[in-house]
Amino acid sequence: MMRRLINWLTMLTFLFTSAGVAVFFLFFYYGRGLPDYDFLHNYEPIAVNQIQASNGQTLREFSQERRVYAPLDLIPSLVITAFLVAEDKNFFYHCGLDIQGIIRAIISNSTQGSWLSRPLGGSTITQQVAKNFLIGNERSFERKAKEAIMSLRLESALSKDRILELYLNQIYLGMGAYGVVAAALTYFNKTLDKLSIAEIAFLAAMPKAPSFYPNQKDLSRAKARRDWVIDRLQEEEILTEDEANVAKDEPLKISQGTEDKNQPDYYSEYIRQELTKHLGEDIVTQGGLTVKTTLVPALQEIAVKALKQGLIAYDRRHGWRGPIHHVDIDADNKNEWLTELQKTSSPPGLGDWSLAIVLETTPDKAKIGLKNDEIGFIPLEHLKWAKKNLPNQMIGPEITHPEDVLNPGDIIAVSHSTGEFYYLEQIPEVTGGLVALNPHTGHVVAMVGGYDFEKNQYNCAVQAKRQPGSAFKPFVYLTALEHGYTPETRVLDAPIMLKVGGKMGTYAPKNITHKFYGPTPLRSGLIHSRNVMTVRLAQQIGLRGIEKTARNFGLVEKLPHQLAMALGAAETTLLKLTAAYGMIANGGFQVPPIFIEEVMDRHNQTVYEAPTPSKTRIASARSIRHLTEMMVGVAKQGTARSLASLERPVAAKTGSTNEHKDALIVGFTPDLVAGVFVGFAKPRTLGSEETGARAALPIFKAFIAEAMKDKPVLEFKGF
């Protein structure tokens, strides 16, 4: 008997010793080279960058990970308890590893044969912190061993509260949200203290399958998992039976209330790019920046509206391009047409418009069906603009019947009119840009880079290098004024033939009227945009002087020494052109455009501040005064004369390029400068009559009229 006992004891000693040696070996082998975790004592997570308007309004939030960090003492106790109950109810009692949980996982994986598919892991919250911060997500025995070792080390180095705080702020909870605060905002548009019991349980249910549960089309599994968490809270006597039942009866509704702030637009995306350029990708990636911009929200709203309406107006002048899509349907079969319509994706640029399907056309209207199962009508008068778009910018005859442009089965864009009536709409192919700035500070108060950012991310305001055409002429005339010319100095407007050089032959500029006007004062030459006399003027004063002016005003670094440059053949951007006009408006001082006033880090320390403009004088007050007076004449009598109806002083100049590929206008009042560009992202003709005065000027006028509506009428200094 004694011998038997000794044998058993010897065997047990051997087994325990072997197990100890094995554990020691595993700890030694897998514990080598594990990452340092000291940084977790003062860990600062990747945080959201916030872009603000000049009035403090949040324009956009962005980061690699959407997260708002919250100390543990600011997280409601029920939120903490729900996550503990769902993920690790023994958290405060184990050493980092839940031995009972591991044994259960081993038994379950062995009996269910799930070792090779999706084995249960029995991970504790400490293990999840080790995995998320230090080890990684690789599915392997080695990773689990390292995770276990690191968990034991974390438990000895950090307090339970610190580990829990790290977990609740780092855990991924789906929909791009990291941490409980960001998840509450993403799913329910609420702060943690405003969440209901059911909403808290939903968040606690997410760690198991964060990419699977929040399925807007089928929330049944998410609800089942939420209700399981509620049951666990009841079992732990955190909730009463009545509280649990009320919570489970609460409908599960997921909102995305903060989504708009995360959607980029032309302005905020440009700011993000500028931050990366000036501060470096590392600083921007880590987040926590508060960026105060110069944007004025009211003016930005006016700019967006003016540009959109102007581009739509241009698009309508050029007729109907056809439906978005066409399907063959039985118009009397609601299920058929509704199914076809609902499975049609909204095209980029649809915006606030709706998709509809044409069901029938009669002489006075078109009958349409909408995605919400409603029936509507487009009266013939709301279709009148949709003349057929023929080749070479030609427009077909006026339509007399809806079937001239629409057929049953056409899927189209519509906007609501009144009652059951709608307008036919069309997403423009043309794009454009609008920049507005304060000429005295250089602050860019509004900037729109196209019709719709979703449709085209190409920013026409800052990326499109185009010829300014006649909008460049003021800088030719300014150079002449700096050379001693006056607005009354006459320059011959008569045919001129220039040798271009090489195989390019000769160049004979023409006036837009195809007439010549003899000796003409500079004032009239600019007001009526005389091409020939402008070239002759450039010949007289020399291209080097014009190049210096263009460079001082920030238009171009180098101007090719060809007289065609006097007519705006050198490429620049709308932003540079508008900023240059701003330097005319401020009296001839060099003030660069400014988008960002200040950037502060997460500790409210300033990491960037816009430099104070030096305001170097780059043109004499006399020359600027004469030039401004001449440009006011353009807005009263010349190509921009429709601006006279604004009944306030405006100085402006329109511009058109060869083959009418681009249309521009830039102008200013004493305190506001604006520039407008209209063209295609891939340059092609806008149409033979689409000059700056026709395509761009109405946008400029609409913007200035609304922006200055409640402002006092100020005269230009010196007049």
Catalytic residue IDs? 87, 470
Give the three-state DSSP class for 678.
strand
Strands (E), 456-531: 490-493, 498-499, 506-507, 518-521
**169 dihedral zone (left: phi>0; alpha: psi -120 to 50; beta):** alpha
Q: Give exposure, 169-208, as e/b (b: 16+ Cβ within 10 Å).
A: bbbbbbbbbbbbbbbbbbbbeeebeebebbbbbbbbbbbe
Query: What is the rounded distance in angstroms from the CA atom of residue 193 to the CA atom of residue 187?
Result: 14
Would you say 638 and 629 are in contact if contact means Cβ atoms under 8 Å apart?
no
What tokens were used for 201? 């349980």
Could you write out the DSSP letters of every residue in 215-264?
-TT--HHHHHHHHHHHHHHHHTTSS-HHHHHHHHHS------TTGGGGS-
Task: Report which secondary-structure segment, H or E, holds 377.
Answer: strand 375-379
d(CA 444, CA 595): 6
Beta-bridge mates of residue 506 = 499
Q: Which amino acid is at 565?
A: M
Kindly write down the DSSP assignment for every residue of 321-369, as one continuous string: ---SEE----TT-HHHHHHHHHTSPPPTT-TT-EEEEEEEEETTEEEEE
Pair 627, 477: CB distance under 8 Å: yes
Are the beta carbons of 262 and 269 closer than 8 angstroms? no
Q: Report the C-alpha gap between 275 and 50 in whole angstroms.
A: 12
Residue 529 near residue 639, CB atoms below 8 Å: yes
Q: How many CB atoms lie within 10 A of CB 409?
A: 18
- Find where tokens 């009266």 sit: 379
Tally Cβ neighbours within 10 Å of residue 504.
9
Say which residues have a Cβ less than 8 Å from residue 223's Cβ, sequence separation at least 6.
252
Dihedral angle sign, alpha carbons of residues 616, 619, 620, 625: negative
CA 566/CA 550 separation, integer angstroms: 11
> At residue 518, what are phi and psi to the nearest 5 degrees?
70, -160
**Rounded Cα distance, 524 and 243, in Å:** 83
What stretch of H or E contains 617?
Answer: strand 616-617
Our measurement of the distance from residue 238's CA atom to the centroid of its chain's CA atoms, rounded to an integer in Å, reads: 44
**Can you tell me the distance from the alpha carbon of 185 to that of 67, in angstroms, rounded to the nearest whole number?**
10
Handedness of CA 241, 243, 244, 248 (dihedral sign): positive
DSSP code per residue over 24-36: HHHHHHHHTTPPP
